[in-house]
Structure 1
């Protein structure tokens, strides 16, 4: 038992210098740990400030993202409207092209009618023989003289009497024809004078 106690005393015994050196080492380590703790606290403060700044920036970005989403929805609506308007414009262009084709066809038909009417007027204005077969499309039409249309009578004919030959009345209303019993026309050579202009006296005698 005495031997064991001596061994334990030999293992626990430290000198003052050793203890002082150990204390100084621990004190230096403590200072280093305190300095590290201060630097870590500073880093933690700066990191917390950065986190707050990042949170504020994140909130700003979130608000900007929401505004961009609203703008995106607005632009999508405008794009839909533009698509509808483009479809309508395409339909209107197709209808316009169809109408242009119809107008061109109508112009061609009207030009045909106008050309045919002009040619008909030229044919009606020609004074030619019935057996002259020169017609539409011949070069002889360019050398023919055109006259007024003979189907239209511009000057009305004057009325003349077939009995007396005077103008202004007809034979049914002729004054000389109505007075045929009172007056009588006698043919004489030109330059002679009548001796008995009244003529001989006639007496009616009944037939036996």
Structure 2
């Protein structure tokens, strides 16, 4: 794993907020602010002091500040700056390349999502059509069931009628036989006024 590089001193092994040079600068700024405040206080509290003494104090403080600043100041060579720039530029190009790839992937995914949406809508329409078709066939089945029931009822009614007709036929046949026998009996009997065979003409 690559060690972190400090952007303050450009040295590896720590981050900027952990840099000793940065801490020295912060310490110097605090002390310098305090010294400025002390100079202002001396000027305000001792108006009778001579201008020469004040100038000497200010000069001493400024000299001390310059010395401390020179100690904390970090100088970079052109090669170091060039290397840092190239490193940042390469990182920038890598980020741009990754961003371009991500954009392509996002466009591809968006197209795929749109295609899936259209396909889903097609399936929804197919399902609705199948529902309508199923409803139609269910109605047809219901009609056929009713027709079948009517047919069964008609068949049963026909059977009953056949039985009744057969019964009537048997009754009529018996009646016809009885009528024929009666006619035979009547034909055998002679009329009381018929004298034939008795010597009458």
Could you tell me the TM-score, scaled by structure 2's length?
0.51
Specify every segment of 5 or more residues in structure 2 that has no aligned partner in the other structure, as ranges.
1-57, 188-193
Name which of 48, 58, 63 aligns with 2:113. Answer: 58
User: Corresponding residue for 1:19?
Assistant: 75
Aligned-partner Cα distance in 1 for 2:83–2:71: 20
User: Corresponding residue for 1:110?
Assistant: 165
Specify every segment of 5 or more residues in structure 1 that has no aligned partner in the other structure, as ranges.
126-148, 157-161, 166-170, 172-208
Larger radius of gyration: 1
Matching of residue 124 in structure 1 with residue 178 in structure 2: yes
Q: Comparing both structures, which one devotes a greater share of its residues to helix? A: 2
Q: Cα–Cα, structure 1 residues 75 and 164, in superposed 2: closer, same or farther, change >3 Å?
A: closer
Q: Cα–Cα, structure 1 residues 10 and 87, in superposed 2: closer, same or farther, change >3 Å?
A: same
Deviations 1:14-58 (A, max 9, x none): 599x5237972x655544433332222122111111122122222
Q: Name the count of aligned residue pairs.
A: 134
Which residues of 2 match residues 80-119 of structure 1 at below 5 A?
80-119=135-174
Compute the displacement of 1:78 (Å). 0.9
CA RMSD after TM alignment: 3.7
Compute the displacement of 1:118 (Å). 4.6
User: Corresponding residue for 2:61?
Assistant: 4
